[in-house]
A = this chain, B = another copy of it.
């Protein structure tokens, strides 16, 4: 009798990677859920390749037997991207975490996908350059590219889609291609780089990235400023952007989120809608920008300004903001986070947030809000009891109404978290017939449907 395909795949993977194929249950479970609220769905095996060539060989083995592949970075995804819905192989990029080149003259770095943003920041520290994209967790750059991540600096520096020059990709048949070039711009053919960014591993696997670096600012000033209402805070952000002030960060925390971070870090900020701001430039530019923004904020009734011009104070200020998610979870014992985000045109943001606050209150759910308001993007850090099915259902219904509200405002069901499985059901409402175009691309590039199957695209009729 022939061996089972799964057994053959396991043996072939073992022959290729030896002890870097792991079937241990604890390890498999660690790779089956990420930071999402979904039930753990582990892969059959976790493999740890150390080179692009090994990734290509793994893919060829899986393609030969139609075994699903799920790429894995740091496991920080919040929408279930890494659940092995159909089992198969999880490719963990832990061993492919090197910075391969820093090109100072051309302001780019070439990196492996398993490098985390903290590792990258550390490695770049003495170069005079930095990479501006940072989600609220220590994700890998491969994962950030695959979910089209952004974070606090996006209002000035863009998202992952704006900061990648070139990718190396292992295709679903195991072939290796390079997208883009080292040139800053190109009109040569289809933009495959942007196609693989945000594709969540469903079209191929990112095995190398060439990312744009930015000059470290001459000076960085930060500020905290609280407002009587969400509208006042959002209007301050809108007017700042409309005046062309190149603000680097403009983060909104609602009153409940301010309460959460006060408790978590023993701070005593006023518990009202608050903007955390940051400015990058020369000291004189920053003084000018600060004066303008302070003037705008005051015209909207801002209550108090705290400016931080030195690094230690600034770091402390941003630490409070960065801790927003753990601070939210800490509001409740044995709680779990259901993190969600939407993005709307900025003129609709205040209305979207305030309607959502009323909805949260009516639903009786704990859900502090924070937003990258310069982009119109905000998050609900919904804090749930994982053992309370009724509450879980209420939280999911709240999330659904949030997304429908954002889509009715011509926004999107996710600004920076991605679809995974958590937002799958909203794809038809957001994209209409464009879903069929996405499916046509998926089928053309991954005809066996082995690349992270069941993610990003809802099943077709």
Interface residues on A, range: 35 or more
The verdict on A185 contacting B375 (CB below 8 Å), with A105-B346, A345-B103 known, is: yes
CB distance from A359 to the nearest CB of B (A): 20
Task: Confirm or deny: A12 has a beta carbon within 8 angstroms of a beta carbon on chain B.
Answer: no
Q: How far is the CA of A257 from the CA of B329 in the complex (A)?
A: 64
Q: How far is the CA of A443 from the CA of B445 in the complex (A)?
A: 11
Question: Are A218 and B190 in touch, CB under 8 angstroms?
Answer: no
Query: Which of A24-32, A312-320, A411-419 is the contact stretch?
Result: A411-419
Q: How far is the CA of A431 from the CA of B180 in the complex (A)?
A: 8
- Residue-by-residue, is A269-282 near B (CB-CB < 8 Å gives 1, otherwise 0)? 00000000000011
Task: Confirm or deny: A14 has a beta carbon within 8 angstroms of a beta carbon on chain B.
Answer: no
Question: Are B437 and A187 in touch, CB under 8 angstroms?
Answer: no
CB distance from A258 to the nearest CB of B (A): 25
CB distance from A92 to the nearest CB of B (A): 22
What residues of B have a CB within 8 angstroms of the CB of A423 in the complex? 188
Task: Confirm or deny: A303 has a beta carbon within 8 angstroms of a beta carbon on chain B.
Answer: no
What residues of B have a CB within 8 angstroms of the CB of A158 in the complex? 162
Task: Confirm or deny: A177 has a beta carbon within 8 angstroms of a beta carbon on chain B.
Answer: yes
Copies of this chain, count: 2
Task: Confirm or deny: A344 has a beta carbon within 8 angstroms of a beta carbon on chain B.
Answer: yes
Question: Are B430 and A188 in touch, CB under 8 angstroms?
Answer: yes
Q: How far is the CA of A118 from the CA of B76 in the complex (A)?
A: 47
What residues of B have a CB within 8 angstroms of the CB of A377 in the complex? 183-185
Residue of B nearest to A129 (CB): B242
Q: Which of B149, B187, B282 is A416 in contact with, Cβ under 8 Å?
A: B187
Query: Which of A63-71, A193-201, A389-397 is the contact stretch?
Result: A193-201
What residues of B have a CB within 8 angstroms of the CB of A104 in the complex? 242
Question: Are B284 and A188 in touch, CB under 8 angstroms?
Answer: no
The verdict on A457 contacting B416 (CB below 8 Å), with A183-B344, A410-B181, A441-B441 known, is: no
CB distance from A171 to the nearest CB of B (A): 7
Task: Confirm or deny: A161 has a beta carbon within 8 angstroms of a beta carbon on chain B.
Answer: yes
What residues of B have a CB within 8 angstroms of the CB of A192 in the complex? 434, 437-438
CB distance from A205 to the nearest CB of B (A): 13
The verdict on A189 contacting B456 (CB below 8 Å), with A183-B415, A444-B444 known, is: yes
26 contacts between A and B (CB under 8 A): A148-B186, A148-B187, A154-B185, A158-B162, A161-B191, A178-B431, A181-B411, A182-B345, A183-B376, A183-B406, A187-B414, A187-B415, A188-B414, A188-B419, A189-B198, A190-B195, A191-B198, A192-B437, A192-B438, A194-B194, A195-B441, A215-B241, A246-B246, A285-B288, A437-B445, A440-B444
Q: Which residues of A contact B (CB under 8 A)?
A: 103-108, 147-150, 154, 158-159, 161-162, 171, 175-179, 181-192, 194-195, 197-199, 203, 214-218, 238, 241-244, 246, 281-282, 284-285, 288, 343-347, 375-377, 406, 410-419, 423, 426-427, 430-438, 440-441, 443-445, 456-457
